[in-house]
Amino acid sequence: MFSLLQQAATTAAETDTHAAPANADAAAAAAGHGADATHAAEAAGAAAHATADAGHAAQSAGMPQLDVSTFGNQIFWLLVTLAVLYWVLSKVALPRIDAIISDRQGAITGDLMQAEEFKKKAKDAEAAYGKALADARTEAGKIIAAQKADIQKELDAAVAKADAEISARAAESETRIAAIRDSATADARSVAREVTAELVRAFGGKADDAAIDAAVDARLKGAA
């Protein structure tokens, strides 16, 4: 900006320098043609007006914002514009931007809180599922153990019943065997007595029942 001001001042000075000789020549010509001082004064006034007009023409030919005489107004309106811009930004634009940022931050915070709540619920659900699974396994173990105990009781009862039946049948079998043995022994004793008596008679002897019974009993005891 300072370089532009310097260029404008240099241009105005060059314009004044070129206009001054022309004005001087015009004054000399007027003095030569007129003999009195009045004509010379008029010529000098005309030269002064020409110089002023040349200066105004030079200023109008440049950039108006570089005119030094308008710097005060320009600075004033610049300050007014900056103040209005600041007021608009502080009262309109910045509050809206702040509100948008606050809403955005609130939405982000709400989403984060909701995500954290969902995460907590998921952890609680996972813990509840794990507890339910553990309880189900424990209950299943108890049911299996109870069923095993019932089956074992039934099995023990069946085994005891079978053992009792087997023992009873074994006792019955032993009784029958003993009865059969006794019956066989009695039959064998009777047959032996009869055979012995016949043999004694065959050899010409006299069969003594007591002697025959004693001999048969002794023989049977020795065989047993």
Residue 67 has a pLDDT of 79
pLDDT tens for each residue of 6-65: 444 444 444 444 444 444 444 344 334 443 445 544 655 555 455 445 444 444 446 777
Name residues whose C-beta falls within 8 Å of residue 44's C-beta, 6 or more positions apart in sequence.
Answer: 27
Is position 164 within any domain? no
Query: What gap in Å lies between CA 211 and CA 46, rounded to an integer?
Result: 207
- In a domain, residue 101? The reply is no
- For residue 153, tell me if it sits in a domain: no
125 domain-assigned: no
Kindly state the average pLDDT of the residues 214-220: 74
DSSP three-state, residue 208: coil
Q: Within a domain: residue 148?
A: no
Domain termination residue (choose one: 50, 66, 82): 66
Query: Using one digit for the tens of pLDDT, what is the confidence trace for 160-179?
Result: 988 888 988 888 888 888 88
Among 44, 66, 88, give the residue marking a domain's end. Answer: 66
In a domain, 130, yes or no: no
Structure tokens at 127: 């813990």
Residue span of the structural domain in which 195 resides = 187-223
Alpha helices, H only, 62-93: 71-88
How many domains does the chain fold into?
2
In a domain? residue 194: yes
Classify residue 126: in a domain, yes or no. no
**What's the residue count for the chain?**
224
Q: How many of the other CB atoms lie within 10 Å of CB of 55? A: 14
Q: Is the pLDDT of residue 103 over 50?
A: yes
Q: What is the pLDDT of residue 138?
A: 92
205 vs 80: which has the higher pLDDT: 80
Q: Are 99 and 40 in contact (CB under 8 A)?
A: no
Report the pLDDT averaged over residues 72-78. 91
